[in-house]
Amino acid sequence: MLVFFKPNLAFLSVPKTGSTAYELALRKRADVVFTKRVKHMTIGKYHAKLAPFLKETYGITPERLAVVRDPIDHARSWYKYRSPERMDRNNPTCHGGVSFDAFLLDAISPRPSKAAGIGSQASFLSLGVGEVPVDHLFAYERQDLLQAFLKERFGEDVLPRQKNVSPPVEAPLSREVEAAFRAARPADFALYDKVIAAGGVLREFHST
């Protein structure tokens, strides 16, 4: 999470959407930097805690910026990131080499393992059903739009270097498990589809 006073932006760090690379590229320009446990502050916490503080203390109401990724690619990135090819098998967040199908079924089970606890992008970015208070919500696949927007706000190119790249692990997905995953995460797919339908960036929210 980065907050910029002059460009009037708050860049929310949605996990596994390339946020770390942008954080490294923009950190020197930021007025407020959140790292470690509070790096991935949800929109709910931002709205309840940080937004009132920024308005009361500094008199600013930054526009909220975030990135959302295709839910299957998002889950596949988590799968690769938590694979034994990247981390020790004894690490409780390592899935130990299970198939991607098994990983997704674990993720949508009533009590997912630590390895399969990948969260929900829709939950991260929502206050309630259908309420996503983000001024600029970009599709991960449209880096061109995001970088053009950042160039306009900062007056120069913002070119992130890849960071936390997952290893090249095979992760095929069966039609049956894909259907089950889609049925279990309708809000995630609906939000992503809405951003894509808007041309790669959704700007429906208007702050007051």
**Residue 207 scores a pLDDT above 50:** no
Q: What is the DSSP letter of 97?
A: T
Q: Which two tokens stand for residue 187?
A: 């809000």
Domain ranges of the chain: 2-202
Q: Which residues contact 17 (CB under 8 A, 6 or more apart)?
A: 66, 67, 68, 69, 74, 121, 140
Classify residue 18 by burial, with Cβ atoms within 10 Å: 0-12, 13-18, 19+. buried
- In this structure, are residues 106 and 115 in contact, taking their beta carbons and an 8 Å threshold? yes
Match 């049925």 to its residue by tokens. Answer: 183
Q: In this model, does residue 163 exceed pLDDT 90?
A: no
* Distance from C-alpha of 188 to C-alpha of 119, rounded to nearest angstrom: 10
Q: With cut-offs at 50, 70 and 90, classify the pLDDT of residue 36.
A: confident
Closest CA to 62 of 150, 3, 124, 104: 3
Q: Considering the domain 2-202 in this protein, what is its CATH number?
A: 3.40.50
Residues 6+ apart with CB under 8 A from 196: 139
Highest average pLDDT, of 151-160, 181-190, 196-205, comes from 181-190
Confidence of residue 130 (pLDDT cuts 50, 70, 90): low
Question: Residue 131: what pLDDT?
Answer: 79
Q: Using 50, 70 and 90 to split pLDDT, how confident is the model at 129?
A: low
Phi, psi (5° rounding) for residue 84?
-65, -15
Torsion sign across C-alpha atoms 77, 78, 81, 85? negative
- pLDDT greater than 80 at residue 165: no
